[in-house]
Amino acid sequence: MSNLDFQNSPKTQNNRETTYKIGMLRKIRLTIGCLMLAAATWLFVDTSGIAAAHLNWIAKIQFLPALMAGSIITVIVLLVATLLLGRVYCSVICPLGLLQDLIARVGRAAKKNRYTYSKAKNILRWGVLGVTVIAFVAGIGSVVALVAPYSSFGRIAQTLLAPLYEWGNNIAAQIAESNGSYAVSETEIWVRSIPTLVIAALTLVGIGIVAWMNGRTYCNTICPVGTVLGFLSKYSLMAPVIDKSKCISCRKCERNCKAACIDIAGTKEIDGSRCVTCMNCIDTCPKGAISYTMRNRTAKVEAEGGETPSGRRMFLTMLGLTAASVASAKKDKLVDGGLTVIEDKEPMKRETPLVPPGAESLRNFRRHCTGCQLCVAKCPNGVLRPSTDLGSLMQPVMSYENGYCRQECTRCSEVCPAGAIKPYEEGAKSSIQIGHAVWVKERCVVLTDEVSCGTCARHCPVGAISMVKYDAGDGKEVRIPAVNEERCIGCGACENLCPSRPLSAIYVEGHENHKIL
Amino acid sequence: MNEGKNISRRDFLKRIGLASVALTGCGKATETTNTANNTTTVVGETKAEDMTYRINPTTGDKVSLLGFGCMRWPTGSDGEIDQEMVNKLVDYAIEHGVNYFDTSPAYCKGKSEAATGIALKRHDRSKYYIATKLSNFGEQVWSTEESLAMYENSFKELQVDYIDYMLLHGVGMGGMENLRKRYLDNGILDHLLKERKKGRIRNLGFSYHGDIEVFDYLLSQHDKYKWDFVQIQLNYVDWKHAKATNRRNTDAEYLYNELQKRGIPAVIMEPLLGGRLSKVHDHIAQSLKERDPERSIASWAFRYAGTFEGVLTVLSGMTYMEHLKDNLVSYAPLKPLTADDLEFLEKVAEEMVTYKTIPCNDCKYCMPCPYGIDIPANLLHYNKIVNAGMMPDENAGTEEYQKNRRIFLVGYDRSVPKLRQASHCIGCGICKPHCPQRIDIPRELARIDIFVEHLKRNKNKKA
């Protein structure tokens, strides 16, 4: 009963050729893992809204976001699961871990038996965790965002995979259009933030190379979640355990351990703090000496050491590079003699950044957000994009040059797993004030073009703008917009639709604390 | 209260109108057709000798009933006129008996005259008639010098030394004041009269849209100006229902009858109402097909315009070869409509005005909008949905509403880029005076904007 390894049949033990069979446990892990990776990826790239409606629980069971959101139950369930079964979170729930497994698999296909045991880098592990905690307490969200594993995955999916998916979607939309179908609609592909794109690309390349060469090194040296869960999994009830009496020291398990945590030459123990319970070793062992079973509590494996892993240097390089880039995304315009060329709007400079309704305050938002980009991916109005400010790098901010925060949309609050954007009741949005509109006299077309306008007033969903009389000089009376700051909610309809280009003549200034009107 | 008044007036006009059509239209028309009642060619090549021609009473010109409107020449992917295709269309038209080509310095962003000239230059000058206009719309070309330069330039662009049919362009838009400034006070009309005497202009006329005072004034001066022809908008909707578009518009019935009284031949523009009589509501399409399953929907409108004996030629802006071929079937030869057909089309027109389409003909005179709106594209998308019977109706049940809502919104984004949609209209009204149909464009755009906003917000509307 204690032995859960179904692979352990006499036939396999006698057959030395059989080195890599898929056992039941691994089969389960692979199935769940594949589904989870596919679902998490789809959650980020989907443009139809179906994924967000049905799969946002994937984001909500992620450890760090749940911790940020204060979802005590989720956190306790994950901790208890780790204490019982080991780091199953890392092997079947964390999408970044799954992505690494996928890359590592390709690496293993290229070169068999490529891993070797290495000692735990505990100083680095606890060091990164310490820095993360300090950054969180200090409210430097960008540091937390940088090391959060699920957020790293989110950035890769949103900035690198989503454009490919959208491109495919748009081809499908064109085919649909030519067939008179309305099933697929076109979506706009745009780069929201160059620094975040660069970070995502470097993360993918960095983690990709490390995963290819060494498997789960990132999870066992940098990842703060890995460190916390590793601390617990060391004492987990169940774990893969080597039956030393059966072991022939062939080191097949060690060479196939992507966590580099099986020390055959030394203690013949598996380092429980780094093992992600992938079950590969169980299947690899020609003698059936490894089984997933109750841990032998007397044998504590503790490895010490403080070498710099290859992943670390790469990681620091990433940090340095991100500071240097600047965002500027020009879209293609259709130019036809019969149509006026429309100048692109430039993002406004705002003294106080704008964050979505449900954030409650800038401070709350900055503290909770892990920069996973899920809200950015799901924003249907082109409003959310990652910040380029160093202190809040990768955490989303709002801007209205491509669209505005529409009243019927509550998408970002629905998907946010970290409690940075809290859900609110549909309909409540029109009473949440996130900022207020400011009129810029010098740019208003009523005065510059001498035409009558009123676009901002017409589109204000809360009636905060009215057109009032104004003496334009020479006794000419015109009507200009007047903002009732008390009633304005900061949705940006006025700013987005304002005919003044490239800078709008009316724009929204953010508020530190959101108010319920 | 208001409605009741309209209906009685309409009924009155209907009685008078139908009687006059039956008399003028059908009586003489029978002699021009040699086709047996139920055998009509509906596809395939027509013969040049079968083309129905009308005789211009002043010059004796034998003009083909189908006139080629050069406002909608085909363009390539670069947006420039596809000259090769233009040549092909012109060649085919001439080969099949078409001999009237109507252009203007204002058409195709100012490139129509040149393209038409290039295509026609390849043919014997005596084989075709060229009509062009003095399109001095903008205030900057109202001066004598500028207007004359525009007039002379037409000869250059068209590569000709005489013009068969010369028109004052779009008189009525902007009322009497506009007419005075464009043609009377600057001496341009006097100059054109002299040019007619010299023979550089063979026929002088005007095209009319808008304020009826101008039309009446110019006709009252017929003894002085001796109009050789007048170009009017005539089709089975405008015959009696021009006021459905704008209360101040005038029914074609009045315009045509005024010309008939004076024996002035009418050149017909907008026989198809800019495509609105071919892209009709599904119900109407079905009833037209039931009446004659082999003819195209557009053919009804062309035969209607051609049935009037006082019509010299009917202009059609044919962008595609299939349009040309279909129209040739209608006119080579013309099988005039019967009194019964006319009554049927009047019923169709009555039904048509109950559908709340916006009377945009896609002429693009309103463009470019200085704030980037693609005005015709917005209006036409709305019409397309109305005509397809796919207007999202909240009372239609949730599923039906959801389906139509999606079709409207997805289709809208496909037809009009976001930045050129109605929501960006600032309501400045610069476009308004340019619309020959006198559509209140800012109002219609605001209406579409509110409708779209309503659709966007009512995503989960329960019926």
> B362 lies in a domain?
no
> How far off is chain B from A474, nearest CA to CA, in Å?
21
This complex has an ipTM of 0.70
Interface check B370 vs A, CB under 8 A: yes
List all residues of chain A from 341 to 380 with a beta carbon under 8 Å from chain B: 341-342
Contacts of A338 in chain B (CB under 8 A): 109, 364, 367-368
pLDDT at B5 over 50: no
Q: Do B259 and B336 sit in the same domain of this protein? A: yes
> How far off is chain B from A336, nearest CA to CA, in Å?
6
pLDDT at B150 over 90: yes
Interface check B457 vs A, CB under 8 A: yes
Q: What is the C-alpha separation between A482 and A438, in angstroms, rounded?
A: 9
pLDDT at A366 over 50: yes
Candidates B79, B369, B456; nearest CB to A337: B79
pLDDT at B289 over 80: yes
Residue of B nearest to A454 (CA): B426
Q: Do B116 and B235 sit in the same domain of this protein? A: yes
What CATH number is attached to the domain comprising B68? 3.20.20.100
Contact A311, A221 (CB under 8 A): yes
> Is A338 within 8 Å of B419 when comparing Cβ atoms?
no
pLDDT at B31 over 60: no
Q: Do B114 and B15 sit in the same domain of this protein? A: yes
Q: Do B109 and B30 sit in the same domain of this protein? A: yes
pLDDT value at residue A22: 67
Candidates A339, A340, A459; nearest CB to B423: A459
Residue of B nearest to A459 (CA): B423
Structure confidence by residue, pLDDT tens digits, B159-181: 999 999 999 999 998 889 999 99
> How far off is chain A from B378, nearest CA to CA, in Å?
13
Contacts of B367 in chain A (CB under 8 A): 338-339
> Is B369 within 8 Å of A497 when comparing Cβ atoms?
no
Boundary (domain end) residue, out of B321, B352, B383:
B352
Interface check B48 vs A, CB under 8 A: no
Give the closest residue to B72 by CA, choosing from B316, B300, B276: B316
Kind plus residue range of the DSSP H or E element containing B345: helix B339-352
In this prediction, residues A145-166 reach a mean pLDDT of: 92
In this prediction, residues A228-250 reach a mean pLDDT of: 91
> Is A334 within 8 Å of B423 when comparing Cβ atoms?
no
In this prediction, residues A453-481 reach a mean pLDDT of: 89
> B359 lies in a domain?
no
> B40 lies in a domain?
yes
Contacts of A455 in chain B (CB under 8 A): 424-427
Residue of B nearest to A453 (CA): B426
Contacts of A454 in chain B (CB under 8 A): 426-427
> How far off is chain B from A419, nearest CA to CA, in Å?
26
Better pLDDT: A12 or A383:
A383
Structure confidence by residue, pLDDT tens digits, B107-122: 888 899 999 999 999 9
Alpha-carbon radius of gyration of chain A: 27
Interface check A499 vs B, CB under 8 A: yes
Least confident of A288-292, A314-318, B265-269, B270-274: A314-318
In this prediction, residues A287-300 reach a mean pLDDT of: 73
Structure tokens at B302: 């062309």
Structure tokens at B400: 């039906």
Contact B193, B225 (CB under 8 A): yes
Interface check A325 vs B, CB under 8 A: no
Give the phi and the psi of residue B12 in degrees, each rounded to 5: -60, -50
- % of chain B residues with pLDDT over 90: 62
Structure confidence by residue, pLDDT tens digits, B36-94: 333 444 566 888 889 999 999 999 999 999 999 999 899 888 878 999 999 999 999 99
> How far off is chain A from B72, nearest CA to CA, in Å?
13
CA atoms A264, A268, A274, A278: torsion sign: positive
Q: Do B346 and B382 sit in the same domain of this protein? A: no
pLDDT value at residue A303: 36
Q: Report the number of distinct structural domains present in chain B.
A: 2
* pLDDT bucket at A4, cuts 50 / 70 / 90: very low
- Tracing tokens 């699961």 back to the chain, one arrives at A81
- % of chain A residues with pLDDT over 70: 88
Tell me the pTM: 0.69
Structure tokens at B374: 């693609």
> How far off is chain A from B445, nearest CA to CA, in Å?
12
Partners of A470 in the β-ladder = A478
C-beta neighbour count of B63 within 10 angstroms: 25
pLDDT at B220 over 90: yes
Tell me the CA end-to-end span of chain B in Å, nearest whole number: 32
Residue of B nearest to A174 (CA): B414
> Is A182 within 8 Å of B410 when comparing Cβ atoms?
yes
pLDDT value at residue A143: 87
- The DSSP code for A471 is E
Q: Do B394 and B282 sit in the same domain of this protein? A: no
Contact B305, B314 (CB under 8 A): yes
SS3 annotation, A282-306: HHHCCCCCEEEEECCCCCCCCCCCC
Better pLDDT: A208 or B281:
A208
Contacts of B370 in chain A (CB under 8 A): 340, 449
Q: Do B8 and B77 sit in the same domain of this protein? A: yes
Structure confidence by residue, pLDDT tens digits, A99-125: 999 999 988 888 888 899 999 999 999
Interface check A477 vs B, CB under 8 A: no
Contacts of B428 in chain A (CB under 8 A): 449, 451-453
Residue of B nearest to A401 (CA): B419
Q: Which domain holds residue B316?
A: 2-352
> Is A185 within 8 Å of B446 when comparing Cβ atoms?
no
> Is B374 within 8 Å of A339 when comparing Cβ atoms?
yes
Candidates A338, A449, A458; nearest CB to B109: A338
Candidates A340, A449, A454; nearest CB to B427: A454
Interface check A458 vs B, CB under 8 A: yes
Q: Do B216 and B257 sit in the same domain of this protein? A: yes
Q: What is the C-alpha separation between B165 and B56, in angstroms, rounded?
A: 11
Cis amide prior to A353 (ω within 30 degrees):
no
Least confident of A220-229, B96-105, B136-145: B136-145
Regarding beta strands B62-64 and B53-55, do their DSSP bridges make them parallel or antiparallel, or are they unpaired? antiparallel
> B369 lies in a domain?
no
Mutation target to probe the A interface, by most A beta carbons within 10 A, among B402, B419, B434 is: B419
> How far off is chain B from A445, nearest CA to CA, in Å?
10
pLDDT value at residue B195: 96
> Is B414 within 8 Å of A453 when comparing Cβ atoms?
no
pLDDT at B357 over 90: no
Residue of A nearest to B404 (CA): A182
pLDDT at B338 over 70: yes
Candidates A185, A408, A459; nearest CB to B457: A408
In this prediction, residues A135-152 reach a mean pLDDT of: 87
pLDDT at A214 over 60: yes
- The DSSP code for A135 is H
> Is A339 within 8 Å of B411 when comparing Cβ atoms?
no
- Tracing tokens 């959208």 back to the chain, one arrives at A166
Q: Do B194 and B283 sit in the same domain of this protein? A: yes
Amino acid in the structure at residue A270: I
List all residues of chain B from 412 to 441 with a beta carbon under 8 Å from chain A: 413-414, 417, 419-420, 423-430
Q: Do B257 and B402 sit in the same domain of this protein? A: no
Boundary (domain end) residue, out of B352, B367, B388:
B352
E-only strand ranges, A394-476 = 396-398, 432-439, 465-471
pLDDT at A30 over 80: yes
> Is A338 within 8 Å of B364 when comparing Cβ atoms?
yes
> Is B406 within 8 Å of A182 when comparing Cβ atoms?
yes
Better pLDDT: B245 or B202:
B202
**Length of chain A, please?**
517
Q: Do B315 and B394 sit in the same domain of this protein? A: no
Residue of A nearest to B457 (CA): A408
Q: What is the C-alpha separation between A260 and A283, in angstroms, rounded?
A: 16
Interface check B55 vs A, CB under 8 A: no
Alpha-carbon radius of gyration of chain B: 22
- % of chain A residues with pLDDT over 90: 57
Interface check A187 vs B, CB under 8 A: no
Interface check B371 vs A, CB under 8 A: yes
Contact B269, B231 (CB under 8 A): yes
Give the phi and the psi of residue A76 in degrees, each rounded to 5: -65, -45
Q: Do B256 and B330 sit in the same domain of this protein? A: yes
Contacts of A462 in chain B (CB under 8 A): none
In this prediction, residues A251-261 reach a mean pLDDT of: 92
Residue of A nearest to B406 (CA): A182
* pLDDT bucket at A68, cuts 50 / 70 / 90: confident
> Is B426 within 8 Å of A445 when comparing Cβ atoms?
yes
* pLDDT bucket at A21, cuts 50 / 70 / 90: low
Candidates A182, A338, A451; nearest CB to B428: A451
pLDDT value at residue B42: 54
